[in-house]
Amino acid sequence: MSELELGQRLGKHQIQRLLGRGGMGEVYLATHVVSGGEVAIKVLSAKSARDPVLVERFSNEARAVNRIQHESIVSVLDLDWLPDGRPFIVMEHLDGSSLTKALRGGPLPPPVMARLAGEVLAALDAAHRAGIVHRDLKPDNVHVTSAGRVKILDFGIAKLMGDSTVPALTRSREVLGTPHYMAPEQITGARHVDARTDLYALGVILFEGVTGRPPFHATSIFELFKLHLDAAPPWPRQLQPALSPAYEAVILRALEKDPARRFASAAEMAAALRAASESPAPQPPAPLGVSAQVDPLATTSPDDGQEVTVRDPAPGQATVRRPAGAPPADPSTTPTLARPRRDTIKGH
């Protein structure tokens, strides 16, 4: 049996209860036997522990987080192994919930989303300066504490650049990530994955955060990949009229197909987002004697994405861009995007 027993001791910690379970293992709440302080313990499942690549990705999370050490990234306190050979990570225990749960009630106010994204960008800036690309940024991996602060989770498939001691963490012709949030270069493998790949994922999160849905929906993973590769995203202000043009421009620039057309760094994107969040949205004209009000379009949050590993995807070639300064697209010409089917090939 791979699950830990309640009351079981792992070093100086005692298991209290199961917090969650995923494809790669379980997470438990535990307490320090002396101080009583709470921690979260993440344990790799017995099945995953038989795969050397998955074991390496699991250990990679602890190495990546300790290399960055930023207040908006969950702290890893220890990495150890069970008697049966499975690794486990001791992490700080977080209250609050994931951004995914926060979005289930619909879009967040643009200023709130800008503040949360600003904290994510500060953490990404620290990671990128440490030579680390997250590669799986998504609402599930953005935790919002009860105090409203951000913590980024799960650096398991992070790319540690410039470190010859870290083995390759991808098998031949694999694509790693979560389809709704993957940049074109991540899908095709045709370009070098770097910091701008994380900025694309944050562009998707920003779009979803202020409109209530991701920019692209499809009935299969490969159709979704093709949209990321070929289709221009809808204009966010068509879905959220309370958004300012400057805020919209930040999102669309982060979602550029060509990495060279995105922000060059997390710091640059953060500065643009700060400036945009201070720019008021234009108010529609009101009838005489009636105060102008904006009634944002309320939408239902999409299903949570699942991380997948896809072998030999069919890469797309064409890139569709909206010319600079062009007027918003006619909504009647905007592609109809079906609600996604939860196709999970491999993941947790």
Residue length of the chain: 348
User: What is the spatial distance between Cα 137 and Cα 154, in angstroms, rounded to a whole number?
Assistant: 9
DSSP string of 213-280, one letter each residue: S-S---SSHHHHHHHHHHPPPPPHHHH-TTS-HHHHHHHHHHT-SSGGGS-SSHHHHHHHHHHHHTSP
Torsion sign across C-alpha atoms 296, 140, 67, 150: positive
Tokens at 302, concatenated: 């999409």
Q: Contact at 8 Å (CB) between 181 and 175? A: no
Sign for the CA dihedral angle at 209, 316, 321, 134 comes to positive
**Active site annotation includes 136:** yes
| Beta carbons within 8 Å of 313's beta carbon, 6+ residues apart | 175, 187, 188, 222, 225
Q: CA 24 to CA 26: how far, in whole Å? A: 7
Biggest CA pair distance of the chain:
76
DSSP state of 144: E
Q: CA 68 to CA 264: how far, in whole Å?
A: 20
Contact between 97 and 143 under an 8 Å Cβ cutoff? The reply is yes
Of 80, 95, 125, 136, the catalytic one is 136
Pinpoint the alpha helices (H) of the chain: 46-49, 52-68, 99-103, 110-129, 184-188, 195-211, 221-230, 236-239, 245-254, 266-277
For residue 206, how many other CB atoms are within 10 A of its CB?
26
Catalytic residues: 136
